[in-house]
Amino acid sequence: MEKSRKKFTDLIDKAIATANTMDRDELLFSYKGILYPVTFCSTEVFRAMESFEARSDDVILAGYPKSGTNWVGQILNDLIAIFQMKTQNKESNVNDELEEFPYLEIGDIDKYKRMENLPSPRFMCTHLLPENLPRSIFKNKAKILLLVRNPKDVATSFYHFCNAMSPLPSYETWDDFFIAFMTKKMPWGSYFEYLSEWNKYAADENVMTITYEELKENPVLGVENIAAFFGISLTDEELQSVAERSSFKSMKKNSQKTHGAFGNVLFRKGGVNDWKNLFSEDQNEKMDKTFEEHVGGTKLGTKLKYEVYCKA
Ligand code: A3P
């Protein structure tokens, strides 16, 4: 059911080629106090995004980088294709081109105008903090699936990603990366601030939270819950097939087609607990304390099951 991802791979290939000619300290810029990669984002596009008019039936995935957004994006695109087949009698055509780069904040200034012509339900993904999203998303009550992952695996995944992707600053050592991660030097900002800001929305009826770990533990139940939240009914067979098609193994196998060369970087380990290979005792303590300060005892903090997934 996947659409041609030429637009997706072209944009990433171009960003990589441009970044290869740049110095490390030119790779990020700051907008409203948060760093972003210059090869993917720009002030002009952020400004143009303010005019984006959300619809109540938009399907929005919010997740900090490395939380599994490509994974859940695959699930949501499959669910939308099933929904369209059933309600609009529209056969999903594998030769259809993906209409827009799926991350809302990445593209060109005309993207939001073009998106007005896309049929519902539209899918989009974002790494942004809620306060930096277009206001119409909240005003028009678009549904948001909020994906969170335990912070130690997010940091681990981000470290490997930064060192494999030229558009992001690389790090000589894990210790250097850890300091940057803990001191708000990451593209798209601090993960702890991300969690505490999104926690303010976690109880809203238009927001459903899912963790990477629960989806990994029981993908069929996860897909079932996601489909129910977006009002998409599935047969048992469809449910099984969406879960199967989104497994790490199938997505990695298919990644040349869906993500091009970038797939080799993105589909790394796809598991839980890889942080244990990197964190020192001191780093564990620091992160435990920061997590507690930002989201300890909150709805989102509790949902993350920090004691289960982040304690040595
Ligand atoms: P690792 O680096 O720990 O392997 P994002 O898509 O937000 O950039 O997140 C990338 C992380 O999600 C990577 O984690 C990647 O391997 C993991 N991932 C991608 N597809 C997955 C899948 N189908 N199942 C589980 N994890 C997946």
Question: What would the pLDDT profile of 1-48 be if each residue is shown by its tens digit?
Answer: 456 688 889 999 999 999 999 999 999 999 999 999 999 999 999 999
- Find the 90 Cα to ligand 1 centroid distance in Å: 30
Q: Please work out whether the CB of residue 274 comes within 6 Å of at least one atom of ligand 1.
A: yes
3 state DSSP class of 211: strand
| pLDDT for res 88 | 79
* Pairwise CA distance, residues 251 & 4, whole Å: 15
- Kindly give the interhelix angle for 236-245 and 69-87, rounded to the nearest 10 degrees: 150
At 151-204, the pLDDT tens digits run 999 999 999 999 999 999 999 999 999 999 999 999 999 999 999 999 999 999
Q: Please work out whether the CB of residue 169 comes within 6 Å of at least one atom of ligand 1.
A: no
Residue of 2, 40, 66, 145 to test ligand 1 pocket, by largest number of atoms within 8 Å of CB: 66
Q: Please work out whether the CB of residue 70 comes within 6 Å of at least one atom of ligand 1.
A: yes
* Every domain of the chain and the residues it spans: 6-309
At 93-111, the pLDDT tens digits run 544 567 899 999 999 999 9
| pLDDT for res 94 | 46
Q: How many C-beta atoms surround the C-beta of residue 131 within 10 A?
A: 9
At 251-295, the pLDDT tens digits run 999 999 899 889 999 999 999 999 999 999 999 999 999 999 999
Contact 64, 148 (CB under 8 A): yes
Q: Please work out whether the CB of residue 251 comes within 6 Å of at least one atom of ligand 1.
A: yes
Atom of ligand 1 nearest to the CA of 153: 3
| pLDDT for res 2 | 56
The pTM assigned to this predicted structure is 0.96
Query: Please, which pLDDT band fits residue 147 given cuts at 50, 70 and 90?
Result: very high
- The superfamily in CATH containing domain 6-309 is P-loop containing nucleotide triphosphate hydrolases (3.40.50.300)
| Token digits of residue 18 | 């441009």
Protein residue with its CA nearest to atom 22 in ligand 1 = 248
Residue of 160, 210, 267, 274 to test ligand 1 pocket, by largest number of atoms within 8 Å of CB: 267
Would you name the residues annotated as active-site residues? 127
Residues above pLDDT 70, as percent of the chain: 96
Query: Please, which pLDDT band fits residue 116 given cuts at 50, 70 and 90?
Result: very high
Residue of 157, 213, 254 to test ligand 1 pocket, by largest number of atoms within 8 Å of CB: 157
Q: Does the pLDDT value for residue 131 go beyond 60?
A: yes
